[in-house]
Amino acid sequence: MKQKIIPLLLLILVIHGKAQQTPQRGDPTLTEIWSPVPRVIAPGKLSTDPPSDAVVLFGTAKDSMQWESKTGKPFNWKATDEHLTVVPFAGDLQTKQGFGDCQLHIEWRTPAEVAGEGQGRGNSGVFLMGLYELQVLDSYNNKTYSNGQAGSIYKQHMPMVNVCRPPGEWQTYDIIFTAPQFYTDGMLKSAARITVTQNGVLIQNNVELWGPMIFVGVPKYEKHATKAPLLLQDHHNGVSFRNIWIREL
C-alpha cells in the first residue's frame, strides 16, 4: 500500500505545480490605480531627521516658542540649541498647537548621575493629546512594575522588550498614533492605537489603548477634541529631550 501512495502524492504535486504556472486571464489594468498620486516629500538625510512635511517642535532653542506651561504660562524649562531639559517642579510642558493622528519622533536622555530607584529614577512621559502616556524612565538595570517601565503605555501595556541604553545616553522613540474617535453622543467609536519603536526596536505593536492615563483605577474614555497638545511630563527628574518632530496623518 505504501508503494502506491508515494506515486500518487508525486502526481498530485506535479498537477499542483502546473496549475500554479497557468497564466491568469483577464485585464490586469482593472486592478491598477493611477489616481490619486501620493504627494512627494523629501526625507531627512538620516532616518532621525525631519522630512520636509514635518512640524519641527524642537531642534534649537528658538523652537521653545512653540511650547508653554500646561497652565498656559510661558515656557519655563531649560533650553539650549542642543536640547530642552525638565526643570523639576516647574510643571508639565505642552505644545501650543494641537495634534491628532500623527507620526512622532522624539529623543530623550535620563540623567547620567543615577539617583533614586524604580519610578523615582529618570522619570518623565510623552503624552499624546495630553492624555495618552508613553513612559520615559531610566529602565537600565532598574526594577519597577513592567507596565510602568520605559516604553510602556503607562499602567496599560508593557513593552515587548527592554532596549534601554545606560543613563546619560540618548534614546529614541518613533511613534505612530491613531487618535480615538467618538460618536456625537459621546460614546466611543474607535479606541486610540499606538505603535512604538525604541532605539530602532519594535516595542509596541499597534496596541489598543484602554483610555487616558490614570494613576489609580481603570481608565475609561470620555469624548474630547479631535486635536490636542503634545505634552512632556515634569516628574521632578532632570530628563532632557531633543530632535522632536511630528507629522500629521
* Domain at 81, CATH number: 2.60.120.560
Residue with grid cell 540649541, as numbered in its chain: 81
Model confidence at 18, pLDDT cuts 50, 70, 90, reads low
Residue 176 placed within a domain: yes
User: CA–CA separation, 51 vs 35, rounded Å?
Assistant: 24
The pLDDT of residue 6 is above 70? no
Q: Give the residue numbers spanning the domain of 222.
A: 51-248
Residue 102 placed within a domain: yes
Neighbours of 105 (CB within 10 A): 21
Residue 67 placed within a domain: yes
The whole-angstrom distance between residue 78's C-alpha and the CA centroid of its chain comes to 24
What's the mean pLDDT in 210-229? 96
Neighbours of 246 (CB within 10 A): 22
What is the tens place of the pLDDT at every residue in 120-166?
999 999 999 999 999 999 999 999 999 999 999 999 999 999 999 99
Computed over every residue of the chain, the mean pLDDT equals 92
- Lowest mean pLDDT, pick from 40-54, 87-101, 116-130, 177-191: 40-54
Residue 226 placed within a domain: yes
User: CA–CA separation, 152 vs 13, rounded Å?
Assistant: 49
Model confidence at 56, pLDDT cuts 50, 70, 90, reads very high
The pLDDT of residue 99 is above 50? yes
Q: How many domains is the chain partitioned into structurally? A: 1
Q: What is the pTM of this model?
A: 0.88
Residue 23 placed within a domain: no
Residue 6 placed within a domain: no
Residue 32 placed within a domain: no
Residue 90: all three cell numbers together: 516647574
What's the mean pLDDT in 18-32? 74
Residue 158 placed within a domain: yes
Residue 217: all three cell numbers together: 483605577
The pLDDT of residue 70 is above 90? yes
